[in-house]
Chains A and B, each alone.
Chain A
């Protein structure tokens, strides 16, 4: 039925099958929108957050998806600025993933601010002393840039490109895409850093507080580096997943290996700096704040295991991704990428949830927090919307330029005899 809209030379499942795939995600989206609607209409009393536990599931997930979505800016940077041409195979997919990650984060923030009608205050009356201002400005801008980068992908649709205006606009926009890649990199550096800085400047929370390098706390740099390291891993992981679900090769294996190698190198730099930061934090910053490191891990369930888990989730994938022999095996490669993604999620969880849960004054108590179903539902809406947009983009836009060629690849490798005969 929709064959005319599907890129030529590739195969997609039937419309009925596709609708069947979309149905559960659409139901999840509807449930999520209802949950978010409740929070917007009835207020934040629908959540389990309070004045003491002001950052909950939403902020943790915002930080995580923004780190994972960093693959969009970093792939663009590597392709258009550093000319790593093999990444052309995944850049469209990276843009869609980035757009959904950032779009989802912004949508959840819209619910999280509690008074969404006043959300524009942050732009009109910004607080120059707040890291959040930098975050808000940069993320809003970058979301706009990602939306612009998504336009050529949409306009490449075979029906749309029959319209001369769309065809020419897409072509001209594509010529200047390196400008957006550069701007995106600049914005991403600052908002990833500011998100980290947000925690590093919390003097009243010694668990999160870090000393400064220049004008920024060390978390500023660690967030940038961890996002840049994990972004390619997430692109690798999602590409592999889409290949499995679609049951066809979409990129050459060496593209995934290249993403893995880039991720491994950056993880090595991150692990090194994170280790140095942790040592300084435990041996200097913490005692100066009047705490003992052991106090941070005295409250269950956040025992010292979480520190080691976080370290292992960066260290193990780093080793796997740096060893060519292991990287060459799809199982190891994908497992390492998944571990790195989990590592960044644990890191963001620790900084958001553990920081707020730990007592800081003698009369404080350890705070419990479990998200309400409305909070969970709102998050599920983001997940469902991301899957829906990605599925539609995969079906109707050419997200993987090598797909057509790879369909022909096995035949190219075969050594059968010429097949043509004239009449």
Chain B
């Protein structure tokens, strides 16, 4: 039946059957080749970080992808589909237009004994970003994960001059045999590195001055409340419920006390890793 075989008799049926069969084969092979080429392009363009973030983000449960406007009560229920990059979101602008002008509020916000200065912007992966007068931004870990992780066992900071991509890896740290990947809240070039002993971890010259994707002002308080709830739920799932006696758990004691799989799961939740 195949054209190169002895005694082939071509009929309409043969042509349709072989045509359909070879079309399927061509589609499958073309799709695979296209995938390989696209992958090669992405690797050459250094988009691994973006891909990792997009892949991680897509796997987050809808609750963990709650829109910032859901946190503030501007909308009842809404899951983000833009990888927490509100600059790509058409609805974000509409929500901002509806917001009443905000009066200057407190300079800090306190929750469960943790202080969150409001002179800076916050990323959902628990980093903060502070604009500096010289055009750079300073990046640090917020009080919440600082208490959760404590002093890391080891730290892998980027080199000076290294380029960070938004939502790529800003730096890695290890605690209790678990590697924690901190998501970069901005894209830019690293100009200076700090560490856990300093107040900050990185100083970066940002590629864009537009930082609308970060939380600010009155958005921080409901976000922190949601993060506390998310952590409580994550702990509860591993049977690490708070002591019913006082209903409280010391954040700083979690790293030391909860079993390794629980620690890994809690860190995954807090650092937005599925």
- Chain A positions near chain B (C-beta within 8 angstroms): 3, 8-9, 11, 124-128, 133-134, 137, 141, 144-145, 148, 161, 164-165, 167-173, 176, 179-180, 183, 186-187, 401-402, 404-405, 407-408, 410-412, 414, 416-423
Nearest to B43 among chain A residues (CB) is A168
| B114 close to chain A: CB less than 8 A | yes
Cβ–Cβ < 8 Å partners of B51 in chain A: 167-168, 171
Residues of A within 8 A of B264 (CB): 8-9
Number of B interface residues, CB 8 Å? 61
The 5 closest A-B pairs by CB, nearest first: A422-B113, A411-B236, A419-B242, A421-B248, A405-B61
| Interface positions of B from 237 to 274, Cβ below 8 Å from A | 237-238, 241-242, 246-252, 260-261, 264-265, 268-269, 273-274
Chain B interface residues toward A at CB < 8 A: 1-2, 5, 11, 13-14, 17, 21, 24-25, 27-28, 31-32, 34-36, 38-39, 42-43, 47-48, 51-52, 54-55, 59, 61, 63, 112-114, 147, 228-229, 231-238, 241-242, 246-252, 260-261, 264-265, 268-269, 273-274
Contact A421 B42 (CB under 8 A): no
Residues of A within 8 A of B249 (CB): 419-421
Name the one of B14, B42, B232, B273 contacting A128, with C-beta atoms under 8 angstroms.
Answer: B14
Query: Are A172 and B39 also in contact (CB < 8 A) when A167-B55, A180-B31, A421-B249 are?
Result: yes
For A215, the closest partner residue in chain B by CB is B13
Contact check, B1 vs A168: say whether CB atoms are below 8 A apart.
Answer: no
Are A187 and B251 in touch, CB under 8 angstroms?
A: no
B27's partner among A164, A179, A407 (CB-CB below 8 A) is A179
In the bound complex, do residue B24 and residue A186 qualify as a contact, i.e. CB atoms below 8 Å apart? yes
Q: Provided the pairs A421-B248, A423-B147 are in contact, do residues A9 and B268 lie with their beta carbons within 8 angstroms?
A: yes
Query: Shortest CB–CB separation between residue B109 and chain A, in angstroms?
Result: 13
Please tell me which one of the listed residues B232, B269, B273, B274 contacts residue A420 in the complex, with CB atoms under 8 A apart.
B232
A407 to B48, CA, bound (A): 30
Q: A126-B1, A145-B28, A183-B24 are in contact. Are A169 and B232 (CB under 8 A)?
A: no
Contact A168 B248 (CB under 8 A): no
8 further contact pairs, Cβ within 8 A, besides A405-B61, A419-B235, A421-B249: A3-B260, A8-B264, A9-B274, A125-B1, A141-B21, A164-B43, A164-B48, A417-B247
Which of A133, A172, A422: most chain B CB closer than 10 A?
Answer: A422
